[in-house]
Every structure is written in C-alpha cells, then in structure tokens.
Structure 1
C-alpha cells in the first residue's frame, strides 16, 4: 500500500509538472495574441468610424448642394399639385422631374429621394423597374426629421428589403414650417465593400505581424528551452556519477545568463571531480579514482594487448623530514614531489597519491624498458629537487618498485610492484627495482 501511495504521488507530481515551453505559451504567445486582437479591434472601430464619417460628410454635402441648386434654379416655394389621380411636386413656376436627380445618380452613384411631407414624390429608387414614388417615410425617421427638424444620418434604413445608409435634410419653404425632406442614400453593400477593402489588409497585416512575432519568439524561446535541457541533462549525468560528462557547446557559447549557468555547472562539475578524484594536498588522483582507472586499463589490456606498467614510489626517510622540519615542511615536500611527478607523467599515463608518502605511477602503452627509462629520469629529478622551508633546504630521494601488467590481475601486479619497492628499500633506497 505504501509503495502504491508513493508511486501515485510521483505520477501526480509528474503530471502537474510544467514545462518551460508551456509557461512560454502563457507569458508570451497569449499576450501577443491578446494584443493582436485588441489592435485589430481598435483598428476595426477606427476605420469604421472614419468610413462612416466620410460617407456621412459626402451624403450631407450632396443633400445641401441639391437643396441649394433647386433654390438657385427654381426660386420659390415647394408646392404639391394634385390633378385627378396624379400628384406632382412644383417649386416656384417649375415642376420637379426625375431627370435632374437621375443625372446626379449617374455621376455619384447615390440614390436620391425628395419627400413632400412624408410622401416620396421624386426618387431614383426602383422596384420591379418602376420608381417607388408615393410610399411613405418611416415613422421613426419622420419624427426625427419632419417633427423635430433634425438633419439625420442612419446606417440601417430598409427600403424594399434592401439596406441603405441614408442622410435626411429637412426642407423649408422660406422661414415657414418644414414641408418635406431631401434624402441621399447609398446601398449598404457598397459601403461594406469599401470598409472591407480598408480594414481587411490592415487586419491581415496585424495578424501577419502577430504570427511573425510569435514565431520569432517561439524560435528564440525554443533555443532557450533547448539549452536549458542541455544544462539539465548535464547536471543529471553529473548527479548520476558521470563526472566526465560534457556540457553542450552551444549552451557554453552563449553570452547571457544561460551561458553563465552552463559555465557555472561545468565549474561545479570540475570542483566535484576534484573533490572526488583528486587528493586535496597534491592535486594528484586519489586512491579510489586510481583503482577505477586501473580496472579500465586492465580490461583494455585484455581486449587489445596494450601494455602497461605500475610503479609504486615512496619518499625515503619521510618520517625524519616531518620530525626534523615539521609537518608543514613535510606537506611542502609532498607538493613538490607531486609537481615533478605530474610533469614527468605528462603524455605517458597518470599519477596518484597512494597513501601517506607513497605514490602510484601508471604508464600506459609502455613496456618495461621504456618505463625504466622514464623512472630513472624521474628519480634523478627528485634527487635534484630542493625544498626551501624556514631558510633551510630539504633534499630527498625516492625508492621505486615497478611491475608490468602481463595478464595478471591488477591486484597481483600491484602486489609485485609493492614487493619490489620493499626490495628497493632493503637494498639501500634511492633506486628503481624492476625484478
């Protein structure tokens, strides 16, 4: 039961875990789309307002122009003339006909109606190829225009099931009461078409801009996310014990905070590796790490036959150095020996502090003859080494036992080298023993 609970909890935690790209969708993509929608909405409203204002101004100018033209061409009052079943509209001494407003329609594309009271007397509007004269003005419009005397603009006037934008201008006989109205109309579909031609390209540009910005942000944050994953995977390997893991070069090459995190992670890895595999005093490999490497070298020998030799080196009379000059001086001697040892082993293998004043030198790809040449050179460098401590010069020698890896176990090769070190000590120290 306990195991199931733990498992369920782990699954729940995994399910609830949020990814960086998921967070990106919330903090970048959604606001960009929201801004795009707001911009599109504002653009729609502004363009609509501008188009409506332009249409209204044009229709208003046309209405006043027509009224003034009639006053100039036909001085006098408007008058309704009735004869039997016919009615006609007269201004001054002239009867008003459809010819004049038909010409205006041809030039402007506008529909025109002249009302006497609320009756449509002259018009360019047709239904079934007949002018729709004699019909009445909408009651709501009549109240605004004829009763209250307002010039009015409407964006939804229905005439014979067709929608129009319309401007109504009250008409007076001199200073007397309102006797009718001039109405300028434009089909709504034409205005919507004009509006669409202006708004659609702009909306398309906004949408394209939002898409491009989102895509560029997606690419940028995709790279960020990719680099974060590289860092996460690197740290996962280090946590799992792989201290040789390599950080992705792209993450390391970044010159921002992510690059700083990547570099800090690598520095942390080095610090951990030094703590785990290096001796803190000499900076040589420690015994634990050396044992791991020896196992790999032995396996490599079995697979490929690549030779290797092991040498155990011990500082002669090191206890005397500590007793005579103090442990601080002894530490300085160990550090100096390690420095010469690292220089001597460069390109030949590696060295480790085996314990106390003992060191292990591992030569890879070297036979016994070559190894002995290197060891004699190393021993001579130790003889020439001088360690200055409190105005005193300390000189030392080292005894070395060496054995070749010949198919025996690493432990047996080490045991052989240790025996030969013992023989070097017994034979008078300061020498290399290989048999």
Structure 2
C-alpha cells in the first residue's frame, strides 16, 4: 500500500462504520461540546509572550521549559482561530512552584510564571483577556485543574476565601507515592471532610461561573470518590448547564481492556445521583489508534474496539478521543509518516465525540525516541514553528468537513 492510499482507505472505512450504526446512543439535543476539536496547550511550552516572567519557576523545571505564558496564548489567538480549533485546553495556570503547574499553591491566583509577576489582579485581568479573545473567535476555553491534590505549600490564608479549612492527607495510592519523587511535595485532599468537598466544588464553580471558562479537564480522577464527581457535575449543570467536564482515568501499565473497564465505572451513574462525567479521555482507543495508524495494525481493530466500548460505557458517554498528550510519546515518534497522522486525525474527526489534539501536532513535532507508558519528553517548545503547508499541518482544514454537526 502506498503512503497516499492509506488515508483514503482508512477514511472511507471510518465513514462507512460511522454511517452504518451509531457508536453511542443518540441524544435529542447534542451538547455544544460534542463536536469540539480541542487544542491542548501545555502552557510552559507553547508561546513565550512575556520574557519578564521566565524566572518565576521556584521549584522543579522541565529541561525543555520554554517560558510559555498567557500573553503568548493571547498573541496566538488568531493562529488558533486559523488552525480551525473550536476549544483550547490550557494546562494549569494557577500559582505553583513547578513548570508543569499541577502542584497548585493557590487555586484562586494565576501563577507568576504564566501571568504578571507580583500582581495577582493584573494576572487575572490578563486571563480574562485571553478568555474574551478566544471567545470572540468562536473558541471555547477548557481549564485543567487538579482537585485530588495540591502543593504541600498551599496558601491557606489567601487560597481559602470561604474560610472552610480544607484538610489533607499523605499519599494514599501507589501512583501518588510515585509522584512524591517528581520534584514537588504534594498534599492530598481529604474527601471524608465535608468542608473540604465544599472548598473544592467552590474552586470549580469560581472558574466556570465567575471567570467564565467553558469547561474543566479534571486531573487524576481515580484519587477522588466517584460520589464527589457526581455531586460536582450536578452543581455545575445547575450553575452552567452547557459546561463540559472531562476527566482523566489512565492505568498505563495494565492495557486497554483494563483501562476501559475502569473508565466505564466513571460513566456509570452513582447510587442516588447522576453520572460523574460528561467525557473521559479515552486512553484505550489511543492505544488502538497508535497500533493501527502508526504501526500498521489491522484497520478492523478500530471497529472492534468501538463496538466493545459502546457495550461497556454508559449510553450517555461522550469519550474524548486523542492521539497523544503531555504524559506520553508523540504520535509521529512511532512512525514519522505524516500521511498516517492525517489518517488518524481523520478517523477521530469522523467520530461523534470531542477530539483533542496536542499542541504542536500541526508542526509535525516528534520525540527523539518513542516509549510506551509515561514520558514527558513530548513537552517540546514549538517556538517559531508554525503549521506546515501540507495536509498534516493543515489538519483542521483537511478534516473540517467531517466535523460538521451530526444528528447523533
């Protein structure tokens, strides 16, 4: 098979299976985020718009850290619009000590490394400007927020406006114990403590309702009881009905089947409540897509896996499909063939669920060497790189016609 035959063959197959039967149950009025193409920005690596804040990382710094910040996102609003994305997922923007930002020291303050150093009010105003600029261009904003954990240095005086006195514990799960060696000491919130639960719900509602973001990507949801997530989703639905909650449930060492069964439990309604999430990042299909599109696996694996997850997941599930992210090897590291990238993107575009594309995909970035499981080597500054002129670079335009509103 030639390189040019692969995308056409796969896209025809995708269109055939998607037209033949619904992948997930139909809904009378699909949510506005169902067809979003989400561009995932890892803040410190996207665009450096303010070099005056480059020295504000006080803790662990990734060796590839590029000084990316909110001013950089603001300056690239037109670039994002021209790519054709309909939503932008921003990695944590909160006060933190590390370059990844998942060690939050204050949920109510923008970090100096991504905002205006020493001026919380100006930093918040800058973020509001980013949200407004993206909204003006028809782009929604999804904010990445870790509610399972925060920094051990959390600012209780200024980061608890409701004076709820949230409580924390030491690491509870094996994954959390591993993180302790990753350059940031954490605290893990106590969900047995009712005021702590209220504190965390208020954090989420503040950014959605008061600041005006359109959705939340919720980090490491396995560390938090399912009933908390169901309660949060109910409160968000009441306060901002069109908001999107997407969670991360990743069991990287146990394979696609085990991960899918775990994901299914976060789509299932909680006793006495509703479903915990609108969407979950679909790590199982990511594994299958990498096998098929990058390594030449059988195309029939795609239909087989979609059938399997349709049976496992709740009928109201809207999986968020993606090829790679900040914690894994970039897709092109496995193949180097841009036509295969286009085929994989076209496959996701044909599905009636949100799709997420990692920043820099349009520039054909790849890691130096691929690795199965966790790696942060894909966090590469795009600097002056821009969308390539071929179809791999123009992925939104190549696939846009497939993402037209669907009756499903």
Structure with bigger strand share is 1
The structure number with the bigger radius of gyration is 1
Larger RCO of the pair (alpha carbons < 8 Å, separation 6+):
2
Structure with bigger helix share is 1
TM over 0.5: no
Q: TM-score, normalised by structure 1?
A: 0.18
